[in-house]
Amino acid sequence: MKTSTPDKKWFDELIIELRLRQVDGAAIGDTVASARELLADTGQDAEDAFGPARDYAASLELPRDDRGLWQGAALWSSLAGLIVFLLFTQALVPWARGEPLLFAPAQMALLGVTVLLIALLPLYLTAAIRHPWLLGLLFAIGGAAGFLSSVVAPATPDEAWLVLAAAPWLAGSAAALVLVSLGNTVRVLRRGSVDDITDPLQAPASRRKRSGLVLALVTGWLFPLFAGLMFALVTVFLR
Amino acid sequence: MTTDRPDAPEPKPGEWPSDWLRATLGLLALRALEAGPSYGYAIIAELERNGLGVIKGGTLYPLLTRYEAAGLVATEWRPGDAGPGRKYFALTDRGRTELQRSRTDWARFTRATTTYLDADRPSKENFA
């Protein structure tokens, strides 16, 4: 069935609301399919038949899936990946130039803002998704903090609060990036799926589900992938 | 106080006060499944055909979802002939027992209310 534009918007909102309620993908697929079935039978608009998507999602009282990707291990491993990646990027250029790794308190505080924004994600995720301006604001704050941290980075060891040898930190952060990604891979494989929204009439081991799994596995290796790319570029141009 | 409201419009057939429907929809939905498994639109059409008004999907599906969670109904998806698949709802044994219990209770309740509302019945019998 082709979905009209207002209905598409309604279904998009319904899926977001159910995701925010940590309803698992199979139950969301069931809800969407049964709503589509009724609309096909009655010819009604989704809003007329079911009311506002947010209210309808709440009225279904579907059970929460505690293994949700929005919380728990997924968030903390992403946060760990980000912290280690930030450390890797800080150590890379000094290592290539044969210089020590320098830190100033202001620089670390600004890097901490980005880490804090991610760590507190569960507190404001719902509000950020419902209000795109808030999401934009958070991205702007994260971007500004990242830029300012490079501005206030110390140029010489005399200006630095902390002076570290770059090579061990570079090697250590690279190893930690691989470990975090390995942990992500094990977690995704143990779970066996990425909690895709599935059509209730579709076979469980469909190609779509497998491709979703592959995508989740690749996503888990993005930090090491970018780190490798940066390492290659710096080695070519700065060494 | 008078209950005579000459300005109030006559309700159309099948248009009942929403709180009446809210109170009875659970029982009516179980009854609609008594003859065998059925799907959303067929349940709505069955209730409408029997003069109970047009029930919205936004009212019926949350109720059926709660009944499924409570084990009163079981669901099964079947492929559609041309359109999308259909989700069939069927009464479980527990649902059938609940229907019988609710039906008996409802009959007692309506007998009591009908007797009390009877226009010929003295309204102040306690003071007689």
Residue length of chain B: 128
| Residue keyed to tokens 């060494």 | A239
Q: Which of A50-54, A88-92, A226-230, B122-126 bottoms out in mean pLDDT, i.e. has the lowest?
A: B122-126
CA distance linking residue B87 with residue B41, whole number of Å? 10
Residue length of chain A: 239
Given an 8 Å threshold on Cβ–Cβ distance, is A41 in contact with B61?
no
Nearest CB neighbour to A49, from listed B57, B86, B87:
B57
A139, two tokens: 């991205």
pLDDT of residue A190: 75
Instruction: Between B6 and A230, name the one with better pLDDT.
Output: A230
Domain ranges in chain B are: 18-117
The fraction of chain B above a pLDDT of 90, given in percent, is: 65
Given an 8 Å threshold on Cβ–Cβ distance, is B57 in contact with A62?
no
Total Cβ atoms within 10 A of residue B108 = 9
Three-state SS letters, A160-183: CCEEECHHHHHHHHHHHHHHHHHH
Q: Average pLDDT of B32-39?
A: 96
Chain B residues closer than 8 Å to A62 by CB: 65
Question: Does pLDDT of B7 surpass 60?
Answer: no
Q: Average pLDDT of A113-139?
A: 83
The arrangement of secondary structure in B18-117, i.e. its CATH architecture, is Orthogonal Bundle (1.10)
Q: How far is CA A209 from CA A34, A73, A124, A169, A193, in A?
A: 21, 21, 29, 38, 7
pLDDT of residue B5: 47
pLDDT tens digit sequence for B95-118: 999 999 999 999 999 999 999 998
Given an 8 Å threshold on Cβ–Cβ distance, is A37 in contact with B66?
no
For B18, the 3-state DSSP assignment is helix
Query: Using the 8-state DSSP alphabet, how is residue B6 labeled?
Result: T
Q: How far is CA A211 from CA A183, A207, A215, in A?
A: 20, 6, 6
Does ipTM surpass 0.85 in this model? no
Question: Does pLDDT of B127 surpass 70?
Answer: no
| Residue keyed to tokens 């301006």 | A133
Please tell me the pTM assigned to this model. Answer: 0.67
Residues from A in contact with B at Cβ < 8 Å: 1, 30, 33-42, 44, 48-51, 55-56, 59-63, 199-201
pLDDT of residue B39: 95
* B126 confidence band (pLDDT: 50, 70, 90): low
| Residue keyed to tokens 């947010």 | A54
Given an 8 Å threshold on Cβ–Cβ distance, is B61 in contact with A61?
no
Q: Which of A7-11, A132-136, B28-32 bottoms out in mean pLDDT, i.e. has the lowest?
A: A132-136
Paired strand residues for B76: B88
* B1 confidence band (pLDDT: 50, 70, 90): very low
A181, two tokens: 């990604």
Q: Average pLDDT of B8-33?
A: 83
Residue B77 at interface with chain A, using a CB cutoff of 8 Å? yes
The overall average pLDDT reported for chain B is 86
Question: Does pLDDT of A68 surpass 60?
Answer: no
CA distance linking residue B68 with residue B37, whole number of Å? 13
Chain A residues closer than 8 Å to B58 by CB: 49-51, 55-56, 59
CA distance linking residue A118 with residue A2, whole number of Å? 38
Q: Which DSSP string corresponds to B47-113?
A: HHHTTS----HHHHHHHHHHHHHTTSEEEEEE--SSSS-EEEEEE-HHHHHHHHHHHHHHHHHHHHH
